[in-house]
Structure 1
Amino acid sequence: MNGGTESSAAYSFMGSLQRAESPRPDGHVCGAALIAPQWMVTAGHCVKNEAGVLAGYPHGWKVRIGSTSVSSGGEVVEVDKFIQRPGDLQGNDIALLKLKTPAKSRPIKIAAGKPAEKTPVRILGWGMTCDKLEPKCFPDHLREADTVVQAAAPCEDVGIRETEICVGSLDGKIAPTNMDSGGPAIVRAGDDWALVGAVSGGNPGQPGVYTAVPAFRSWMNDVMAAKQPTLEGAVDLGDCSGALVKANAAKPSDPALLLTNGHCVTGDRPAPKSAVVDRAEKQEVTVLDHAGKPKATAATTKLIYATMTGTDVALYQLDKTYAQLASKGAKVFKLAATGPREADPIDLIAGGLRKSWTCAVGGVVPELREDGHVLRNAIRYTEDCVPDSGASGAPLINPHTGLVVGIHNTTNQQGGVCTENNPCEVDNEGHMSVHKARRYGQQTAGIVPCLTAGSRIDLSLPKCTLTKPAS
């Protein structure tokens, strides 16, 4: 940190994020602030990793909390998971750290809103005190400085967004430096402190740019308060799972549609590079309530579409209309027109297993190969998403919108290479990789432009890109 003095007392919420790859002997890389017993907030760029994922489970990361010293005192807690907010780092440079065990230290409250210009603030950090990567530039003692929020203009050289604030002296003599990243800017709240910012960046000789933490309150609350999804609307399809879905233009009198995997059909599976349309197939269908008990029953009459190329989906027409199922209280989902992004939350509800999982998108795989089939833009889950065998066909639901964004379809079970139940990944450069126990889903947005009136599918529509039957 430029300017300021050594802190005379510890701040219970102040943390040092420490990683093995730090150039410092003490392992410090960034500051962080404890906002709940098991959660800390830091900068998004502080959780960069070799895999390039926005959410994951790091090895060897830890935080020292509640000490003026970066190397002793306070408490040391291991980091269980990191979640970076999706989007451009500029304007979204924020991440959450979930701790393996709750910290004993007292968290800081988040301020009610973004502070106005000229608001007095205090900044904290163990950032470098000179420009060389040498021990003399790595302070062990926490530094603090009192300054103010500036207008946006002094920080415009590095770009400043509505979700950021400009903090420090105009000449940069009081400002964050390298390795202050993620550290807090705090304001007085009665006899206590409130968190208003986390260091994002800046230029020498200027104030620093801080992410305005209150601007991300809803996102943080959503991440920290993720709840186990209910089974309402999940469908038990024997050895597979599914969900009732409909197009936006569907009428109550239309026959209901059931979405599941292409590999869950009862007849011959769709061949590679092909699809199946309008084939008579009968399966019993049970729609569940929130507790996993039967809510309504139906039967499939026709497989209107199925493929395992590009995506792994099947759509069945049922013997009951949307109105008839609604009269029994059965839940019907709408399909999202766009796919999920990395780090987006997803709920996976498997009716066939009577189980659900709270998950997140770990990434989008350009190409997934399995047993001769090629799947595009597959959804890779984060490591904590471990649906059991038998969850095939379970819908992936965005918990904020309630829309189906994908469908669970496969796991690399034995570490095999591109064989059945052992999919392999291929990146945009053509490099193949195998990840044993990694689980995947498929996007369903491509179905939306192909649905027509009367619960039918029209593969000739201009925007329909689903795989067509082989000629």
Structure 2
Amino acid sequence: MKKPILGSLLTLLLVGATAAPAAAAAAPAPADDRPAVQAVDFAGTVALSNCSGSVVRMPDSEPTDPALVMSNGHCLESGFPGAGEVVLDQPSSRTFELLDAAGDEVTTLQASKVAYATMTDTDVSLYELTSSYEEIASEHGIEALELSADRPSEGTAISVVSGYWKRVYSCDIDGFAYELREGDWTFKDSVRYTAACDTIGGTSGSPVVDDATGKVVAVNNTGHEGGTDCEINNPCEVDENGDVTSHPGISYAQQTHTIVPCVGTGNKIDLSAPGCELPKPGEE
């Protein structure tokens, strides 16, 4: 996974995590010669204790709805969900540091529950907050990032915005992996970045923003660190014919347009809604 900063037993699973506490040396600057995209900043992103994330809204979310924070399933405070496991409506009091456009912390947000989380097919967590979008905007001047309802395209210019490191990685969508296998987990239709988005530990859960629209199209989650293919921190791609390839040094994200049909009135998760294809509890 690309990757939380952890102080628990999960560090035994993650190469390099034990050497990168939150107060460690600053992350290296992303290698990208393209001009900075001024429209993409840190407003609405959050820093978790071990990962990055963002306050997100659906296209039809209402100002009075409880706000949602999106990160990775592997960033849960309870640890990695097992293959095939879905977490739904579990109480949580986790906190998140909300950032403004400059990357300064403006307040601490609190969850009421994990609304949804999984590492099956995708790698996502959605926390429901005790605050509404309206309250966050009126009290702190921060608007949520909107999830795009559309699948992104190859060649799209994107920014990976890490609230943990307060860094923006800029690159393009290089293509898509039919299946991405990493340890016990399989992700489907994953976004593959071009090399400039060389994300590091702590960027897990960062929103991937389409530079042209400003909307979120994916959530950053993993990358190949040059070790044994298909193992933790070294995902491999598997195509429709079962052929396996790997791309050392390349990072990936999970698409988020699949979330939109699964969030209904009041920002409540509805896995039975038309068009919702997120994994459900009890499915294998």
Range into which the TM-score falls when normalised by the shorter chain = 0.7 to 0.9
Does 1:249 find its partner at 2:53? no
- Aligned AA for 1:363? G
Aligned residues: 250
Out of 214, 227, 235, the position equivalent to 2:37 is 227
Out of 109, 112, 118, the position equivalent to 1:298 is 109
- Aligned AA for 1:460? S
The alignment yields a C-alpha RMSD, in angstroms, of 1.7
* Secondary structure in structure 1 of the residue aligned to 2:195: coil
Gap regions ≥5 residues in structure 1:
1-97, 101-223
Out of 255, 258, 267, the position equivalent to 2:78 is 267
- Aligned AA for 1:227? V
Does 1:399 find its partner at 2:205? no
CA positional deviation for 1:248:
2.2
Q: For 1:249 and 1:230, how far apart are their aligned partners in 2?
A: 23
Q: For 1:364 and 1:348, how far apart are their aligned partners in 2?
A: 16
Gap regions ≥5 residues in structure 2:
1-31
Residue in 2 that maps onto 1:333: 145
CA positional deviation for 1:225:
5.0
- Aligned AA for 2:271? L
Alpha-carbon deviations, 1:296-350, whole Å to 9, x = none?
3211110010011111111000011111100111230111112211110111110
CA positional deviation for 1:437:
1.7
* Secondary structure in structure 1 of the residue aligned to 2:175: strand
Out of 413, 418, 433, the position equivalent to 2:245 is 433
Q: For 1:307 and 1:394, how far apart are their aligned partners in 2?
A: 16
- Aligned AA for 2:160? L
Residue in 1 that maps onto 2:99: 288
- Aligned AA for 2:245? S
- Aligned AA for 2:63? P
Q: For 1:247 and 1:441, how far apart are their aligned partners in 2?
A: 19
Using CA pairs below 8 Å that are at least 6 residues apart, which structure has the higher relative contact order?
Answer: 2
Q: For 1:331 and 1:352, how far apart are their aligned partners in 2?
A: 19
- Aligned AA for 2:141? G
Residue in 2 that maps onto 1:379: 191
Q: For 2:102 and 2:129, how far apart are their aligned partners in 1?
A: 23
CA positional deviation for 1:280:
1.0
Out of 255, 260, 272, the position equivalent to 1:443 is 255
Alpha-carbon deviations, 1:401-454, whole Å to 9, x = none?
111000100011232121111111112221101222211111001100000111
Alpha-carbon deviations, 1:216-249, whole Å to 9, x = none?
xxxxxxxx75536422221111110101111222
Alpha-carbon deviations, 1:282-301, whole Å to 9, x = none?
21111111211012321111
Alpha-carbon deviations, 1:18-57, whole Å to 9, x = none?
xxxxxxxxxxxxxxxxxxxxxxxxxxxxxxxxxxxxxxxx
Alpha-carbon deviations, 1:89-148, whole Å to 9, x = none?
xxxxxxxxx9x9xxxxxxxxxxxxxxxxxxxxxxxxxxxxxxxxxxxxxxxxxxxxxxxx
Does 1:278 find its partner at 2:81? no
Residue in 1 that maps onto 2:264: 452
Q: For 1:290 and 1:243, how far apart are their aligned partners in 2?
A: 13
Does 1:362 find its partner at 2:174? yes
Q: For 1:288 and 1:386, how far apart are their aligned partners in 2?
A: 22
CA positional deviation for 1:465:
0.2
Does 1:240 find its partner at 2:51? yes
2:160·2:197 contact (CA, 8 Å) conserved in 1? no
2:165·2:203 contact (CA, 8 Å) conserved in 1? yes
Point out 4+ residue stretches in structure 1 off by more than 6 angstroms. Answer: none
Residue in 1 that maps onto 2:280: 468
Q: For 2:35 and 2:77, how far apart are their aligned partners in 1?
A: 40
* Secondary structure in structure 2 of the residue aligned to 1:323: helix
Q: For 2:134 and 2:261, how far apart are their aligned partners in 1?
A: 23
Q: For 2:59 and 2:226, how far apart are their aligned partners in 1?
A: 41
The 5 A counterparts of 1:101-180 are none
Residue in 2 that maps onto 1:348: 160
1:411·1:423 contact (CA, 8 Å) conserved in 2? yes
Alpha-carbon deviations, 1:235-294, whole Å to 9, x = none?
111110101111222222211000100101111432212311011122111111121101
- Aligned AA for 2:85? S
Q: For 2:164 and 2:247, how far apart are their aligned partners in 1?
A: 26
The 5 A counterparts of 1:205-216 are none
Identical positions, percent: 39
Q: For 2:165 and 2:82, how far apart are their aligned partners in 1?
A: 27
1:263·1:312 contact (CA, 8 Å) conserved in 2? yes
Q: For 2:224 and 2:46, how far apart are their aligned partners in 1?
A: 24
Residue in 2 that maps onto 1:319: 130
2:56·2:146 contact (CA, 8 Å) conserved in 1? yes
Range with greater deviation from structure 2 (283-292 or 373-382):
283-292
* Secondary structure in structure 2 of the residue aligned to 1:242: strand
* Secondary structure in structure 1 of the residue aligned to 2:266: coil
Residue in 2 that maps onto 1:415: 227
